[in-house]
Amino acid sequence: MEDKYKIFKLIAVDPRFEVLTSRLTEFNPFKILKVQDYEIRHSNFLGWLFDPSQNHNLDDKILTKFLFETMMSQSNGDRENGLNIFNIYQNGLLDAKVFREYRNIDILIVSELNKLVILIENKVDSKEHSNQLKKYLDIVEEDFSGKYVFPVLLSLDGQMPSNDKYYIATYRDIIGVVESITIMNNDRMPSDIFSFIQFYVRAVKERFGMDAEFVKLCRDIYREHREAIENIYLYGKGDKIAEAFELFVKDKDFVESGNKPGLFYVINKDIAKEMKSKWFTNNIAAIWFSKHKDDCLQIVLEVGPFIDGNQRVNFIKHAETKGLKFSKVAKQEDSIYSRTYSKWKRISDSDGGWDNEELISDIMAELYEHEDMQKAIAKLKDSIETFEWQ
């Protein structure tokens, strides 16, 4: 009865829940079409925004600002790249041609006037594979010989590219560019186009936690109604992840295991290192499972927040010397969560899908025991054991 009362209090009494429901159910064509969940649709939309000849009436403004901000961002440091940004600023990029899926490259932009080629590999919820960054760069350098190639890895969290010639850009960066340019140029844009772009911005910010007001609303509700929300999530989704997780951890010698909304985590003896922290465990790292795009199960090895941001940066740098890879954002003192390994596997409906707890448990074990995962755990263990803790 107490649990039912808590859920009733959340749904029927707290006015913030009504505000949240209204935000989540407001009309947005991008949310209806689930554009925010598919990489190719983001690439289509961004390709349209980058194209100066399109009907948004923004000319090359978004493309130019994105190029300059990426080049000069803190994540990319000070690079001697040989690109004459002053010439580009004077010439503009109005002649730029945008190509989608040119030889499997997500977005390719060519400016003959500036002898410039911008290569953008877009990663929303996926990692690069098969050395694709090097392959794409080799293709472009060969096909556009004599032009300067500016390669960019665009991802949600500043994913570290395997090829150090690539610049890092995040969706927070591109959304910031789009917002500032469209707001400043609202008077020259058709109203339907302006609304169309704002729908995209809101959908992306909401989907990936970039809307500060929306995030605060969610956190305030969760803080006050935590137990009710966790019960709703645990028992209301109708899948068997919770039961599968119990099967997975059974008879295994984990130091800690548990669940939070959206994820199920374990900590084994190799990565256990207790210290004061700001997240769900007092250990510095965790392995967690979650749903990925509704049809995949994902495993992630992640370093969590430290009380001392400088110590965290030093640890991340030390872990990199042991062979682990992190994004450049991870080496900022205000960084909180930094994944170093992730992998996922599709859950097949033909085998019972998300209702088959044994299948899900077996896939959890497969992902956890994968050779690459175990190598990453071993490197993190070595990092923890050899770091000079103060």
| 230 three-class SS | helix
Range of weakest confidence among 145-149, 160-164, 221-225, 371-375: 221-225
- Going along the chain, which residue ranges are E strands? 97-102, 105-111, 116-123, 148-155, 167-170, 256-260, 263-267, 285-292, 296-303, 338-346
Do the beta carbons of residue 123 and residue 342 sit within 8 Å?
no
State the DSSP H helix or E strand holding residue 212, giving kind and residue range, or none if neither.
helix 212-224
Residue 36 has what DSSP assignment? G
pLDDT band at 46 (very low <50, low <70, confident <90, very high): very high
Output the pLDDT for position 259: 84
Output the pLDDT for position 145: 92
pLDDT 10s digits, 85-127:
888 889 999 999 999 989 889 999 999 999 999 999 988 766 6
Report percent pLDDT > 90 for the chain: 39
Do the beta carbons of residue 387 and residue 318 sit within 8 Å?
yes
Neighbours of 190 (CB within 10 A): 11
pLDDT 10s digits, 187-201:
888 888 888 888 888
2, 203, 219, 232 from 10: Cα distances, Å: 13, 25, 13, 11
pLDDT band at 35 (very low <50, low <70, confident <90, very high): low
Residue 238 scores a pLDDT above 60 = no
Residue 1 scores a pLDDT above 50 = no
Dihedral sign, Cα of residue 382, residue 383, residue 384, residue 388: positive
The ranges assigned to domains in the chain are 33-189, 238-386
Q: Which of 269, 388, 382, 387 is nearest to 322 (CA)?
A: 382
pLDDT band at 53 (very low <50, low <70, confident <90, very high): very high
| 389 three-class SS | coil
